[in-house]
Amino acid sequence: MNKYLVIGNPIAHSLSPVLHNYWFKKHSFLDSIYEKKEVEKKDLKKIVEQIKNDEIKGVNVTVPFKREIFDFIDSAPHEVQFTKSVNTLVKENNKVVGYNTDQEGFKISLEENDWNFKNKKVFIIGAGGVTPSILSSFIRLGGAEKIYLSNRTRSKAEELKKIWDKALGIYQMKKDTIEILDWEEKSELCDLIINTTSVGLKKDEKLNFDFSDYNNKKEALFYDLIYNPKETNFLKDARKRGNKTMNGKMMFLWQAHLAFKMWTGVSPIIDEEVIKLLD
Ligand SMILES: NC(=O)c1ccc[n+]([C@@H]2O[C@H](COP(=O)([O-])OP(=O)(O)OC[C@H]3O[C@@H](n4cnc5c(N)ncnc54)[C@H](OP(=O)(O)O)[C@@H]3O)[C@@H](O)[C@H]2O)c1
């Protein structure tokens, strides 16, 4: 049996097993199974060894270990060495390689809605584990004109800016592209406003930014990485203002799609049935 895992803590909420096991069945990988496993930091080294010994075929890594697992892998592509955020482990040439499919998953989720990254002004709220992948999408894969970044703990946003400022030249971007704002401070009107915080996971939670100016920019897209609940207050308010909205479901699907392909060589189907699995 080929065993796959998603590891994290907590992990009970993860929908990755439902998705990957659906694809294994659909694509006739009858000897493959995907499970969730709650782990502690001390278990990470062993998980990597188990991949090396072929006890486990592939692993997804989620909160809070995407950074920690980096210290145990054998190698990683350039962009992951930069963000040090790993969500997919694959054995290649006897080495355990750490990839991050969140970046590409995020990018595809926008592109399939005809949203082009070039020359856009974006406002990123949050500076947690997933935010480097979102920043990377806008810089490495995109080429945004301006990126505003705000986090409750300002120092974390500043840390991210420090890292990414060094990369801007490589991607022919202006050195003042990234600007830090105070928490709940207004940015100029942007094309995309994205919530990368976990505020909204609980139904009553709400970000207290004033977005009322977006009444005059209906075409602005409000994107919440959260997909459960389907519509956070951040998205509900945007919809009521008449702005465009999107939740994190398609990003989640695409990051899983890319991981599945790395492990099996097969591009798994994304259809209405699989999209419904996540509702
Ligand atoms: N759709 C997808 O595929 C996908 C992929 C990855 C993550 N996500 C979602 O993205 C969200 C963040 O994930 P993560 O891994 O970055 O989590 P994380 O590392 O725990 O970071 C949490 C972020 O939320 C902020 N935050 C938490 N509580 C807050 C509060 N009460 N007020 C203001 N800010 C608060 C934190 O600010 P401080 O720094 O000040 O604590 C930090 O910026 C989660 O909801 C996760 O489900 C979705």
Q: Which atom of ligand 1 is nearest to the CA of 66?
A: 15
Nearest CA to ligand 1 atom 7: 130
- Distance (Å) from CA 266 to ligand 1 centroid: 31
- Distance (Å) from CA 199 to ligand 1 centroid: 7
Expressed as residue numbers, the domain containing 6 is: 2-100+251-277
Residues 207 and 268 in one domain: no
By CB atoms closer than 10 A (0-12, 13-18, 19+), residue 131 is: buried
The answer to whether the predicted template modeling score (pTM) of the entire model surpasses 0.85 is yes
**Pairwise CA distance, residues 220 & 243, whole Å:** 6
Amino acid 79: pLDDT: 85
Query: Which domain CATH number covers 7?
Result: 3.40.50.10860
Amino acid 117: pLDDT: 81
Residues 194 and 256 in one domain: no
Residues 256 and 185 in one domain: no
Nearest CA to ligand 1 atom 2: 252
What are the average pLDDT values for consecutive 10-residue runs of the chain, which has 279 residues? Answer: 96 94 97 98 98 98 94 94 93 97 95 89 95 90 90 97 90 93 97 96 94 97 95 98 97 98 97 91
Residues 55 and 132 in one domain: no
- Distance (Å) from CA 265 to ligand 1 centroid: 31
Pocket of ligand 1, beta carbon within 6 A: 63, 102, 126-131, 151-153, 156, 196-199, 201, 225-227, 248, 251-252, 255
The catalytic residue among 36, 57, 66, 249 is: 66
Residues 95 and 108 in one domain: no
- Distance (Å) from CA 198 to ligand 1 centroid: 4
Q: How many domains does the chain have?
A: 2
Amino acid 172: pLDDT: 87
Q: Tokens 């959260």 — which residue? A: 226
Q: Which atom of ligand 1 is nearest to the CA of 227?
A: 1
Inter-residue contact 41 to 68 (CB < 8 Å): yes
Q: Which atom of ligand 1 is nearest to the CA of 63?
A: 15
Residues 89 and 42 in one domain: yes
Pairing label, strands 32-38, 58-61? unpaired
Amino acid 13: pLDDT: 85
Residues 189 and 226 in one domain: yes
Measured from the Cβ of residue 32, the count of other Cβ atoms closer than 10 Å reads: 20
Residues 195 and 261 in one domain: no
Measured from the Cβ of residue 49, the count of other Cβ atoms closer than 10 Å reads: 13
Inter-residue contact 189 to 214 (CB < 8 Å): yes
Share of the chain above pLDDT 90, in %: 86
Residues 196 and 258 in one domain: no
Is residue 66 part of the annotated active site? The answer reads yes
Runs of H (alpha helix) within the chain: 16-26, 44-52, 78-83, 102-111, 131-136, 154-168, 233-241, 249-264, 272-277
Residues 143 and 231 in one domain: yes
Helices (H) and strands (E) in the chain, counts: 9, 11
Amino acid 9: pLDDT: 95
Q: Give the pLDDT confidence of 175-216 residue by residue, as tens digits.
A: 999 999 999 999 999 999 999 999 999 889 999 999 999 999
Which amino acid appears at position 193 of this protein?
A: I
Residues 158 and 190 in one domain: yes
Q: Which atom of ligand 1 is nearest to the CA of 62?
A: 15
Query: Which domain CATH number covers 175?
Result: 3.40.50.720
Q: Which two tokens stand for residue 73?
A: 């892998």
